[in-house]
Each structure stands twice: as structure tokens, then as C-alpha cells.
Structure 1
């Protein structure tokens, strides 16, 4: 009787599993055939080298050393979903930029957002800027400066030009938008394929 119950239970489950399997296979086929994030630049971008890009991670880290000895580190990851966003890229990139002068432990730290503009181009905006006395994270009592939006417009523009002069330009922001969206898509396809394999084994 127990064996018969198991067979009946499996029989009721099979149509649902078969339907799920078909849906998973359809979604995988759709994602693999959709080439929206395939145009990725290879190699260094704007003098930066890709230092960290683990397959399972959500972020990337790039570094650049200028002839002057300045070191620029960029870490970036996709921001939250913005369903109202139009264009190729559904999400913006959250980008942190650190600039360190040779022989000093202090650095300038910028929090930025990268978004898609008209014509498939990208643009970055600075959300905040602060001076850090060391690479260690400052405590909550350390003054990190005023809200960036309250700064004089000329100063805001000058700080952005400062970053652009150090390679934080359109070629880098285009790369980050493309690379991070493609990376997320690859992780999604890998997850779908694992689910497909699990459901198929159950069949």
C-alpha cells in the first residue's frame, strides 16, 4: 500500500515537474539567444586593469597607477532594480573610486552612480566625496564632509573633472555597465541550468 501511494504521488507530481522543466528550458533558450549584453570590451579600459572579478561575486575591482605615482582603485556593482528605467540597461552601477597619492596613507573617496544616457552612452554622477586619513574605514564620529549636492556647482564640476582626468571616463563607465549586466545574466543562466538539471533528475 505504501508503494502504491508513492507511485500515485509521483504520478500527480510529474505533470507539474514537466511543466516547470519546459518553462525553465524556454527561459534558458531566451536568455542565451538574447545578445543585449554581448558587446564587451576586452583587456584594460582607460589604463585600468581588472584586478578582481570572481564568477560568483556581484562586484568587480579595477586599478590604475598613473605616471605620477597616483593609485586609483575602482570597485563597482549593480544597484537595485529600477523597473521604470528605459534603455538597454535596467539597472545603474554603483561605483566607488579611491585616489591615493604616493607616499601617503590618506586618500580621496568618491561614491558615484553610473547610468545609461541617450544613444547607448553612459554618464557618471558623484553622490558623495570625502577625505580619509587612512585606508581603514572611519568611525561614525568622523566628519565626512557636507552633502555633495549642497556644494558649489563649480566645485562639483571641478571634482568630476578631477576624476575624468584620472581615467574615470566614458570608456570605463561603458565597460562597467556592459560587464556587470552581462555578468549578472551569466549568473542567472547558470542558476536556471542548475534548476533544470535538478528538475530533470526528478523526472
Structure 2
């Protein structure tokens, strides 16, 4: 006859064995991630005239800024969900928002873009939306912001992309963001694994 005390003993030991396997799996994954870190000795791109304004270790996004006498440019970006290129060093695209403000004026010109990897060395970006906002207070409003970018004349689409490139949103910056955000996420994943291992090992 199985007593409650025996059941409790069996449950405790089953839990110990189960968590022991989990710790082993976590240690195996940690070892793999640390030994095969593709970003350890790989650098790509540069900030150019931008400065890193926000890059907290716990957050997924980064914010860059560039000030000049005639304007302020803010670039915020984070990795998109999913994977578009399984065998690439940089398999996920980056979602990038570019906001341009002229000193003394309220309107904001906002571009929503995707950065993608052409290969493990070069990147490029597409503009998904281009908005003209009356002020920063309109960011969450439902006011008309402009037509679908894909519906614009191809020459205008090309000209707007060239405008951003002239503002410093070129291949060096997109390379930096693509690589930096993948590297950042890899570090956060390793840190997450280490925390789980510590918790279950106790």
C-alpha cells in the first residue's frame, strides 16, 4: 500500500530528476551558444554622424540621434519577429523608424523602414510608410498621414529613399543596426539561459 509519505518522497525525487534533466539541457544550450557565438569577432558598419542615445541591456530596441544646425534626426530600431533567411548570420530583418524634425517647427517627417541582409556583409533597407505629422502629439492620433508608400510613383519612392541616404541612413548605418541588434539579442538570450540555469540548479 502506497502511503502519503511515500507518495511525497516519490514526487520529490521525480521532480529532482526532472529538473536535473532540465539543468543539463540548459547547460548544453549555454555551452553551444557560447562556443558558437557568431558575433564574437565580427564587426560591421558604423554610426557615422549619429550617436547612440539609448541601448539598455534589458531592452530590445536602440535609439540613435543626430543633431545639426538645420535638423534633428532620431532613429529607433529593433529586430522584427520571425526569420526570413534561415542560413544567414543575420537571419532577421530590423524594423527601423526615422523621425526628422526641423528646429523651431512642430511637424515631424516619419519613415517606417525594414532593414534586411543581402549577405553576411551588406545590408539594404526599404521604406514601408512615409508620414507627415503636424506635431509630435499626433503620433498616436488617427489623422490622415499620407498615402500608402507602395502606391506612390516609383520615382518619388526612389527619391525619398535617396533623401534618407543623404541624411546618413546608408549602408554603413544599416549594417551597424543589423549586426548590433542581432548581437544584442544573442547576449540577452545567453543571459536568459544563465538565469534559468541558476534558478533550477538551486
- Same-fold call, TM cutoff 0.5: yes
Aligned equivalent of 1:59: 61
The size of the alignment, in residue pairs, is 198
8 Å contact 2:44–2:121 — kept in the other structure?
no
Q: Matches of 1:199 and 1:123 in 2, distance apart?
A: 42
8 Å contact 2:85–2:92 — kept in the other structure?
no
The 5-angstrom pairing of residues 117-196 of structure 1 reads 117-136=118-137, 137=139, 139-140=141-142, 142-196=143-197
Aligned equivalent of 2:16: 14
| Runs (5+) with no aligned partner, structure 1 | none
Using the TM superposition, name which of 77-86 and 97-106 deviates more: 77-86
Label 1:120 to 1:130 Cα distance change in 2 as closer, same or farther (>3 A).
Answer: same
Q: Deviations over 1:147-174 (max 9, x none)?
A: 1111111111110111111110111111
Q: Deviations over 1:45-79 (max 9, x none)?
A: 1111111111111111100013x421100000111
Aligned equivalent of 1:101: 102
Note the C-alpha offset of 1:124.
Answer: 0.6
Per the normalisation by structure 2, the TM-score is: 0.90
Per the normalisation by structure 1, the TM-score is: 0.90
Of residues 22, 33, 36 in structure 2, which corresponds to 1:34? 36
Q: Matches of 1:102 and 1:133 in 2, distance apart?
A: 14
- Root-mean-square deviation (CA, aligned residues, Å) is 1.9
Q: Matches of 1:180 and 1:108 in 2, distance apart?
A: 24
Note the C-alpha offset of 1:16.
Answer: 1.8
